[in-house]
A and B are shown apart, each in its own frame.
Chain A
Amino acid sequence: MVSPRSTRPADDRPVLRPPSNRVERRSIGWWTSQAVVVVVPPVCVLVLLALLIEPARPWLLLSAAVVGVPGVVTMAVMPVWRYRVHRWETTGDAVYTRAGWVRQEWRIAPLSRIQTVDTVRGPLQQLFGLATVTVTTASAAGAVKIDGLDHAFARDLVDELTRVTQATPGDAT
């Protein structure tokens, strides 16, 4: 990172630098529990049915494996992977995030184009004291989301972003 060329941002082979802030470490727990909630119930149901219905047992166990093996792998890999990828940053004129795991996504939204800023807290997130900050623009292509922030911190961030964007004139299209 201390190569002399890194001082020239518009190098002929530019890359996106990681946003400066990590999300809360508690997010690993949240993502794990999300995966558990999605994977475990169907596998349990399939195994239970396999125990009860003798003739269809191999097929039911097979489908339990088809759902369960990738599910368990996801549970083991995804949360830590996500924690290493998910980062965010706000500068004087833009919101910048990196998210995803197998498919990484960087998003940049200029503050001058922001329409609304709000927080979402699902039941699992509340359990871990986390919140998601959602920044919407006029584009139909979806909002910029910052997952896994401490919920009190998220509230402050929303207040700050709202203040900054309200100071910007125009209808953000």
Chain B
Amino acid sequence: MSARSARSARSARSAREADSGWRRLDPRVVRAAGSWCALLIAGVALLMWWRGAPWWLQLCLPVPLLGMLGHEVLRWLRTYYRVTPERIELRTGVLVRNHRSVLRERVRSVDITAEPMHRIFGIATVKVGTGQQAGSSDEAALTLDALAAADAAALREELMRRAAGGGAYEKDAYDTLARIDWRWLRFAVLSVSVPLLGAAAVGGLYNVLDTVGADPDRVLIPWVWDRLSTVDLLPVVIVASVLALLLVGAVGSLGLYVEMWWGFRLVREAGGALRVTRGLVVTRSVTLEEERLRGVEIAEPLMLRRGGGACTYAVATGMGTAEEEISSENRSALLPPAPLGEAHRVAAVVLREEVCPTASVRLVPHTRHALGRRLRLAFLAGALAAGVLVALGVWLAEVLVQIGWVSGLVVTGAGALFAVDSFRNLGHGITGRYLVTRHGSLKRRTIALRRDGVIGWKVAQWAWHRRSGLARVTATTAGGRGAYHVKDVLLPEGLRFADEATPGLLRQFLVAGHRTNARTR
């Protein structure tokens, strides 16, 4: 009897909610948050027991757990969302109430993320983006944290169907454009993250030892030092430990690659939207509406380039900014680090071109003025390093003078190598609907930008480059980083390029260059 009345009460309440359309988040968010908190507290309790913390400190342990649980319950109680035919609305906030409403026709992206605890409890976070303004993607988004995994997928489909113009949208109609190939795993080790992760592992080990009370500063390190000083082959030990560090870093990089790109698949849905799904522990699904696409970027960090690999990114409005690019949360990645040929193939398919513009374009190399500028900068950097150290050496200690000379030479030499490489990488060109620009040495970027996606031009020139005519020509766009440069190009050539890329816009501001010197002609 009581069970039935409870059920009828529940159905009455859900009917009332259905009337107004307001729905709650999935109640399992409380359990997921509580589990994280409980895990953390169990860890701290174990540590306290091991280190013999006083009993009153241990008694305080449940306080944060209760606080956290209380906050989550309150948050769940006070958060409602509603999807109407016109808009999607979210009412949230424990102390400060917040009502956010997004027009459904403005919805440009729907991302679904599930961290491990979410996956255990079968829920997922939905982020709705409007793609209004690059650089403020976070503010524009409406976040539902979290819904049942099935509800999240259904919501994504409902919103994207609307964005695709309704009508012919079938749930499982899509083309698979790319999927993970585990032979690409070799590119994981061609990354700066290898030494960084190796160093981080050492730092992490130190911290763990310190926390469990092994006192590395006074016990472990002197002990290791003593043992090392008895060994004759110190160079061997140093080389071996560096190798071990790199090995640890490589294993870490491989692990990261597997975590990020597990089950990677790039599909085009029937409505034209592109969807990337990936992730082993944290699963991510990013949907990108095709009309937001402005081009592609092929990025080749130095080591990856030497290994024949490349990263592929979409240049799309509202897909985040430069600082997001390095993070694992990068939403514009179209492909894991993969062979250059595969990057070009996928970029071409994504742009619906036969050949990727970054591959088909004939790039115009830049003149030697650009090389001269880069070499001068390298020399200046070397001179500065040497100058500062030598000046300090004359004043403080003789040895600094020697170090100064050597480091000046090293900086100049390395700088010159980078100068030559980055000069060789410079180029710009136009092919079909795209303008293409390439620059960079430590990270060579080749960007293909749709010519009709250019929303302005910027030309910058230093006073001391007026005679040589060296300048930077920048196309601004609503997508990606917002500005893409043609670096160190001679001004007439850069202007001709810009004029050809966007016919009619620049022409009215151009005059014949009879005032420039004929020397470089």
Contacts and interface: CB of A to CB of B under 8 A. Distances in A.
Nearest to A113: B455
Given A14-B496, A94-B505, A137 B317 contact: no
A109 B475 CA distance: 10
A70 to B, nearest CB: 16
Q: Which of B491, B505, B507 has the most CB of A within 10 A?
A: B505
Contacts of A94: 505, 508-509
**Most chain B C-beta atoms within 10 Å of own C-beta, residue among A11, A13, A100, A139:** A139
B399 to A, nearest CB: 25
Interface residues on A, range: 35 or more
A3 B514 contact: yes
Among B459, B478, B491, chain A packs the most CB atoms within 10 A around the CB of B478
26 contacts: A5-B514, A9-B510, A11-B510, A11-B511, A11-B512, A14-B492, A14-B510, A15-B491, A15-B510, A15-B511, A93-B505, A102-B463, A103-B463, A105-B458, A105-B461, A107-B457, A138-B133, A138-B134, A139-B476, A139-B482, A140-B481, A141-B458, A141-B476, A141-B481, A141-B483, A173-B455
B75 to A, nearest CB: 32
B458 A106 contact: yes
A93 B133 CA distance: 23
Interface string A161-173: 0000000000011
B512 A3 contact: yes
Given A10-B499, A103-B460, A104-B463, A137 B509 contact: no
B467 to A, nearest CB: 13
Interface in B472-521: 474, 476-479, 481-483, 491-492, 495-496, 499, 505-516, 521
B462 interface: yes
Interface residues of B, number: 40
B432 interface: no
A110 B455 CA distance: 7
Given A16-B459, A16-B495, A91-B508, 15 more contacts: A14-B510, A17-B509, A19-B509, A103-B460, A105-B458, A107-B456, A107-B458, A108-B458, A108-B505, A113-B455, A138-B455, A140-B482, A140-B483, A141-B474, A173-B478
Contacts of A17: 509-511
A146 interface: no
Nearest to A102: B463
Nearest to B459: A106
Contact of A108 (B457, B512, B514): B457
A173 B513 contact: no
Interface string A96-139: 10001111111111100100000000000000000000000111
Interface string A70-85: 0000000000000000
A46 interface: no
B452 to A, nearest CB: 11
Contacts of B317: 138, 173
Contacts of A100: 460
What 9 A-B pairs are tightest by C-beta distance, nearest first?
A: A140-B482, A141-B483, A138-B478, A11-B512, A13-B513, A173-B478, A139-B476, A113-B455, A140-B135
Contact of A137 (B462, B476, B495, B507): B476
Given A10-B507, A103-B463, A15 B455 contact: no
A104 B460 CA distance: 6
